[in-house]
Chain A
Amino acid sequence: MQPYELTLAAAAAAIGARRLSPVELTDSVLERIEQVEPQLRAYVTVHAEGARRAARHAENEIAAGRHRGPLHGIPMGLKDLIDVAGAATSASSRVRSGHRAQTDSTVAARLSAAGAVLLGKTHTHEFAYGLTTPQTHNAWDPGRVAGGSSGGSAVSVAAGAATFALGTDTGGSIRVPAALNGVVGLKPTYGLVPRHGVTSLSWSLDHVGPIARTAEDAALVLAALAGHDPRDPASLTAPPAHYRPGPDTDLTGLRIGVPRTYYFDHVDPEVAAAVRSAIDRLQALGARLVDVEIPMTRYVQATQWGLMVPEATAYHESSLRTVPELYRADVRILLEAGELMPAGDYLRAQRSRTLMRQEWARLLREVDLIAAPSVPMTAVPAGQETVTWADGTVEGVSDAYVRLSAPANITGLPSLSVPVGHDTAGLPIGMQLLGPPLGESLLLRVGHASEQTRPTGHLAALAAPC
């Protein structure tokens, strides 16, 4: 096994035991990037020399007995919405040409303090306003979409071109590409991970979180990211929690809600079957399955759009007036049309969110968590714009990918996507676990238990070592 194939937890253990040096690991991942980037295009920029320098520094510190923790010497990628001092935050957009971040974002600073090694910045759908990341190719089939908007982060992790990465999630942008590339993605509770220094799509829906190869890896990253920062007005002051799942996979007594409605409607039969099998395996570990009714499903898309569209347009107000031609066509038209939304629509969406939060809080008193598909279908071929369901309903690809993610963005609830299998075309399928506010430890424990029921943490088949 090559170092780039290691999970974060395995690499950290090897580094801690001096069986692997951060320099060896980083060199291995950088070579892997050179090998797979021509076909995957996950990165906007790769800082190879900076990464090697940081790895040598980590190696020297560890040799001197100053081991900072599990992220020390671990190479990672940051979605290119996340500021790193001195580097461009391109947002994968020509609008940001010549940009240079003055200071580190909170999450970049925290990863740096934990000793993580920055490999480079990964591609996003332009300004995170889309679900496909067209510049980047799916790690399992380059002819299919990467998913988005954190497509570069998910593809890099799936291909072994980063040991972990960060993404952002406004309507599924961590969980969708994680599911489509067979890796783990965590959208934490709203406000748990500070967003200071992270380019916004929609302030009231934005989250930052880890993309990794296992739930345990995601837990190790979350531990370094979580914690109050007053520079993010939504930042919570919750005390530090222990996120790393233990070895015990016993789920006896846990009440897992299985949606009767919404989450299994208009879902590809192979996806539904794989997720139901995964839920059955959780039941075999002792969990009790409870049928639940998902509240206010008719208003999910309306609330998501009612919040996101005007907030995104507001963020881009200045550049939409000065350099509109620099946006890609799909993003520009949404920003322009957002100018026409009345304040009454936005306020109705905010009031609907209040009702939805109340209803989900009630639901999560009946069960400990909810298990459902992450996305309704696996990665579609690049360029496909719609999907036709068995009843003849035609749905936009992006609308379909957002559909099952949006409730957790609207309510702020934590949501974890874990891989649970593949369809007959060999494409990954993801299961979503939703829990109560600050329920990350529980979700990661159940995600970890799920992983123990089947092989996991492998690199994408296409990008497997040759």
Chain B
Amino acid sequence: MPYAALTPPEAARWAHRAGLVLPADRHAAVAATADHIHSVVAVLRELDFGDTPPAPAYRATAAKETHDAAV
């Protein structure tokens, strides 16, 4: 899907919604960097995740955990 680049005012507004007030002289650079990051991560939208859950962030049963490595 084509993606329209963020404009500097949009970057400022998005950052503000996230609680970060950007000085005016940062708007254009942040927009460009955010666009670049978006172009990298957007490729993940190609994947068919089905029922795949996110990798776990924590284990409720950590005390009982045994030899459980990352894979």
Contact = CB atoms under 8 A, between A and B. Distances in A.
Interface of B: 6, 11, 14-15, 18-22, 26, 29-30, 33-34, 36-38, 40-47, 49, 52-55, 57-58, 62, 65-71
A206 B15 CA distance: 26
Interface string A260-278: 0000000000000000000
Nearest to A348: B44
A27 interface: no
Interface string A172-191: 00000000000000000111
A301 interface: yes
A237 B70 contact: no
Contact of B41 (A298, A320, A348): A348
Contact of B70 (A336, A347, A412): A412
Interface string A303-315: 1011001000000
B29 to A, nearest CB: 6
Nearest to B67: A238
Interface residues of A, number: 50
Nearest to B29: A333
A41 interface: no
Given A299-B47, A351-B52, 15 more contacts: A191-B69, A236-B68, A302-B41, A320-B20, A336-B30, A336-B33, A339-B14, A339-B20, A340-B15, A348-B45, A352-B44, A352-B49, A361-B71, A412-B70, A413-B70
Contact of B6 (A238, A306, A340, A354): A340
B49 A299 contact: no
A236 B69 contact: yes
A437 interface: yes
Nearest to A239: B67
A105 interface: no
28 contacts: A190-B69, A233-B62, A236-B68, A299-B44, A302-B41, A302-B44, A305-B40, A309-B41, A333-B33, A340-B15, A341-B37, A341-B41, A348-B49, A349-B41, A350-B55, A351-B47, A351-B53, A351-B55, A352-B47, A354-B52, A354-B53, A354-B54, A354-B55, A355-B52, A411-B71, A436-B69, A437-B69, A438-B69
A204 B47 contact: no
Interface in A241-291: none
Interface-central residue, B11, B54, B66, by most chain A CB under 10 Å: B54
Contacts of B20: 320-321, 336, 339
A4 interface: no
Nearest to B13: A340
Contacts of A334: 33
Nearest to B20: A339
Contact of B14 (A333, A340, A437): A340
B55 A302 contact: no
A411 B58 CA distance: 15
Contacts of B52: 351, 354-355
A204 B43 contact: no
Contact of B44 (A303, A336, A438): A303
Contacts of A303: 44
Q: Which 10 A-B pairs have the closest CB atoms?
A: A412-B70, A437-B69, A350-B54, A337-B33, A348-B44, A337-B34, A340-B34, A190-B70, A353-B55, A339-B18
Contacts of A355: 47, 49, 52
Contacts of A192: 69
B18 A437 contact: no
A364 interface: yes
B71 A357 contact: yes
Contact of B71 (A305, A345, A412): A412
B56 to A, nearest CB: 9
Contacts of B34: 337, 340-341
Contacts of B66: 237
A180 to B, nearest CB: 24
Contacts of A352: 44, 47, 49
A230 interface: yes
Nearest to A306: B41
Contact of A236 (B26, B29, B67): B67
Nearest to A347: B54
A340 B67 contact: no
B43 A230 contact: no
B65 to A, nearest CB: 6
Nearest to B53: A354
A411 B70 contact: yes
Contacts of B30: 333, 336-337, 340
B65 A337 contact: no
B44 A204 contact: no
Contacts of B54: 347, 350-351, 353-354
B22 to A, nearest CB: 7
A436 B37 CA distance: 30
A164 interface: no
A140 interface: no
